[in-house]
Structure 1
């Protein structure tokens, strides 16, 4: 009989505790958790989890940048350089299954359907002929 009384008392205490928590406290806890950038995983990001990557390139070099797709999403990938006339572009986009698409320009809008590890290659457009050495930034912009 003593065990049953203890079980009923513990159950009643748990019910009272849950009932005493105000809805505003529950709402605040939910808002705080959803506002935390670590708890809300990005659908598409670079391998370090960021949406912006700062890079340096030398003329004739090809850079490879990995992109992780955690769930399907449409994004814009954009290259920014100090000069708008810099000869640099997104050359190709490779999917996890090995297929490739490209060449592109300084901007690419793409709908990722499959999750996994994608990568882009960035280099000069050899048809233009202007050489570029310097800094650039690649940004993933969710649509």
Structure 2
């Protein structure tokens, strides 16, 4: 009797879980194609964007700077800025918060050989002696009160 009841309940729940298959496909006879000018589409593609907690710097602006917008929030308390360096020399970087001031800084730079240096302030000047992928870590200073949450702009220049 117990087995029969368990079998009956299993079948009951299984049958309740099945859904009807309705054909909800829509056919469109006419389609409208809107073509964007090539300049706009290239500008939209050539932007350095933040994806999750990482900003990939792939494109330089007209002044030969890497410029990107980022955002710090409670989920992403550290932002990683990745860029590829092909020139040896001095790297100048700057963080510009939207509010003008804030508890935000370059916490660390990680070189291609996995060595690191830091912490820094909102401005960074460091000699790059290696070619390859570098990572800048941006976050708030743990020594100061009130962590920064909001948007900022990061600018990199390799001299």
Structure 1 residue runs without a partner (length 5+): 1-45
Q: How does 1:50-61 map to 2 (within 5 A)?
A: 50=60, 51-59=66-74, 61=77
- Quote the residue 1:42 is aligned against: none
Higher relative helix content: 1
Corresponding residue pairs, total: 98
- Quote the residue 1:80 is aligned against: 96
| Structure 2: distance between partners of 1:106 and 1:115 | 24
> Which of 107, 116, 126 is matched with 2:123 structurally?
107
Higher relative contact order (CA 8 A, sep 6+): 1
The offset of 1:53, in angstroms, is 1.0
| Structure 2: distance between partners of 1:47 and 1:80 | 16
Post-superposition CA distance 1:110-134 (Å, at most 9, x none): 1111100010111010110212111
Q: TM-score by structure 1 length?
A: 0.63
Runs of 4 or more consecutive aligned structure 1 residues displaced over 4 Å after TM superposition: none
Structure 2 residue runs without a partner (length 5+): 1-55, 61-65
Post-superposition CA distance 1:19-59 (Å, at most 9, x none): xxxxxxxxxxxxxxxxxxxxxxxxxxx63123101101114
- Quote the residue 2:137 is aligned against: 121
Q: TM-score by structure 2 length?
A: 0.57
The offset of 1:75, in angstroms, is 2.2
